[in-house]
């Protein structure tokens, strides 16, 4: 990822060397445009007055002052433009970073929603488990009632005691 660019450094670089702020921001197209504009203005400041000096010395002063003022105005505009280009560059980097964050969040797949048929199957399975539990509870109640009956018989036998036990001869008859 590209680091953000300082608009102040871009403007300072362009102030020291025309077009350097554009190179700093990576705007090479603007660099070539501004270099051509400032080159023509420098030619207007230094070459044209020399050529015009042969015609009229007063004319040279007017042309020189005009081109210098145009050069100053355009240079200030260039500094402002480089500053804005650096800011726009930083805004674009921030936007791209937010887009990457959004994309990465979209790529995190959430658990797929259950469709209604699988949900219905799950509920039916749970109902069957509950029915099994209810039938098991009923079976436990039956066994408890039987065991309490058996316990009652055992306690009745204990109450009879040894005197009321059948004799050995009666027991033998029963076996035959």
- Express each pLDDT in 13-52 by its tens digit: 888 888 888 888 888 888 888 888 878 777 766 777 777 6
In a domain, 170, yes or no: no
In a domain, 127, yes or no: yes
Specify whether 94 is located in the same domain as 133: no
Specify whether 100 is located in the same domain as 148: no
- Express each pLDDT in 135-153 by its tens digit: 888 888 887 777 666 665 5
C-alpha dist (Å) from residue 42 to 20, 54, 56, 68, 122: 17, 20, 21, 8, 83
Specify whether 103 is located in the same domain as 128: no
How many domains are contained in the chain?
A: 2
DSSP symbols for 54-73: TT-HHHHHHHHHHHHHHHHH
Specify whether 66 is located in the same domain as 13: yes
In a domain, 168, yes or no: no
Domain of residue 58: give its range: 7-107
Whether the model clears a pTM of 0.75, i.e. scores above it, the answer is no
């Amino acid at each position: 990822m590209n680091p953000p660019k300082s608009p102040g450094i871009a403007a300072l670089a362009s102030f020291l060397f025309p077009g350097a702020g554009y190179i700093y921001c990576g705007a090479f197209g603007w660099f070539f445009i501004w270099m051509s504009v400032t080159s023509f203005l420098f030619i207007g400041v230094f070459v044209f007055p020399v050529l015009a000096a042969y015609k009229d010395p007063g004319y040279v002063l007017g042309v020189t002052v005009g081109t210098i003022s145009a050069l100053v105005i355009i240079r200030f505009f260039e500094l402002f433009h480089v500053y804005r280009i650096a800011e726009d560059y930083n805004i674009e980097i921030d936007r791209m970073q937010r887009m990457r964050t959004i994309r990465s969040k979209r790529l995190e797949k959430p658990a797929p929603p259950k469709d209604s048929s699988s949900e219905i199957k799950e509920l039916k399975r749970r109902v069957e488990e509950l029915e099994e539990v209810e039938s098991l509870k009923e079976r436990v109640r039956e066994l408890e009632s039987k065991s309490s009956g058996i316990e009652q018989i055992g306690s009745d036998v204990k109450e009879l005691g040894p005197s009321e036990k059948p004799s050995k001869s009666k027991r033998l008859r029963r076996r035959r």
